[in-house]
Each structure stands twice: as C-alpha cells, then as structure tokens.
C-alpha cells in the first residue's frame, strides 16, 4: 500500500536559447536527439512515450543520472531531459531555457507491503502526513537546495 505523495519531481526539457523547439510536442520528431541519464526515471519514461526515440545517454547510470548535462553540453543532444530544479539552476548560467511545461511528474511516495496489514499502512500514512504538515519535508528540500 502506498501513501499519498510527499513530493512531486517534475521532468522537463532543457533547450538552447536559439533552439527551434518551443513545446514538448516539438521534441518528438524524427532525428531529434534527447540527452538523458541512462536508466534514470526520465530515460524509462521517454523509452515508453517517445514515438521517435533518439536518446543520447550520459556516462552515469541509475540514481546518479539525474541530469545529462555533460552529454548535452558536448553537443550530443538537441535538448536534455532534466529534473526541473536542476534545469533551472543550469539556465541561470545563460544560453539555455526550459520549455514551458513538464513532460512527466514523479509522485514520490512511501510503501508498506499489504502483508503488514492495515495498521502498518495507517501508521505510515499518518507519518508521511505529519512529516509534510510539520514542515520537515519542506525543510529537507530547502536544506538540499531543491526547489
């Protein structure tokens, strides 16, 4: 059993300022390359969603593949798939911008096996809600510079 989300992680496209891409729909075209961290949540999502699948993977995989900035900066992609807070920090350096809307959202939750019973599920649900309402989640995100 899953709790309600305690944080939403948005994925968006990062493009060069002079890019011809203005919307998410512009990205899914033949010969367009998306730089993405190999085996990241974005990679898995785009594997299923892009009709014209042309991805350039970064050198890191899994949880460390949060953003494929090195791959993108080396010119191996027309745009990059990135976590919104990371992409916003990258755009502040200049020359890059975010497309106007997210292409995906990860609803981060906690889970307890059904075999643990209703009491365990209720306890975990109450715990997550308390961490949200007490400000613990917000403070943790702020402490780690995640907007």
Q: Which of 21, 10, 37 is nearest to 79 (CA)?
A: 21
Q: Could you write out the DSSP letters of every residue in 2-57?
A: BPPPSEEEEEEEEEETT-S--SHHHHSSTT--EEEEETSHHHHHHHHH-SS--EEE
How much is the pTM?
A: 0.66
Instruction: Say what the pLDDT of residue 121 is.
Output: 96
Question: Would you write out the chain's pLDDT as a tens digit for each of its 147 residues?
Answer: 999 999 998 888 888 888 888 888 888 888 887 888 778 888 888 888 888 867 766 654 434 334 444 444 444 455 556 555 555 556 556 677 788 788 889 899 999 999 999 999 999 999 999 999 999 999 999 998 877
Alpha carbons 38 and 110: distance in angstroms, whole number: 24
Domains, the chain: 8-107 (3.40.190.10), 109-143 (no CATH)
Instruction: Say what the pLDDT of residue 69 is.
Output: 46
Alpha carbons 17 and 98: distance in angstroms, whole number: 9
Instruction: Say what the pLDDT of residue 64 is.
Output: 39
């Amino acid at each position: 059993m899953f709790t309600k989300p305690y944080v939403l992680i948005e994925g968006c496209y990062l493009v060069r300022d002079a890019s011809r891409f203005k919307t998410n729909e512009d990205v899914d075209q033949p010969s367009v390359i998306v730089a993405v961290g190999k085996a990241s949540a974005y990679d898995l999502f785009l594997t299923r969603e892009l009709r014209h699948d042309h991805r350039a993977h970064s050198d890191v995989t899994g949880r460390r593949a949060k953003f494929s900035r090195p791959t993108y900066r080396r010119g191996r992609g027309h745009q990059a798939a990135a976590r919104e807070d990371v992409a916003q920090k990258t755009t502040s350096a200049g020359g890059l911008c975010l497309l106007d809307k997210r292409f995906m959202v990860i609803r981060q939750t906690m889970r307890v096996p059904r075999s643990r019973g209703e009491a365990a599920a209720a306890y975990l649900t109450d715990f997550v809600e308390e961490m949200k309402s007490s400000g613990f989640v917000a403070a943790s995100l702020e402490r780690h510079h995640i907007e």
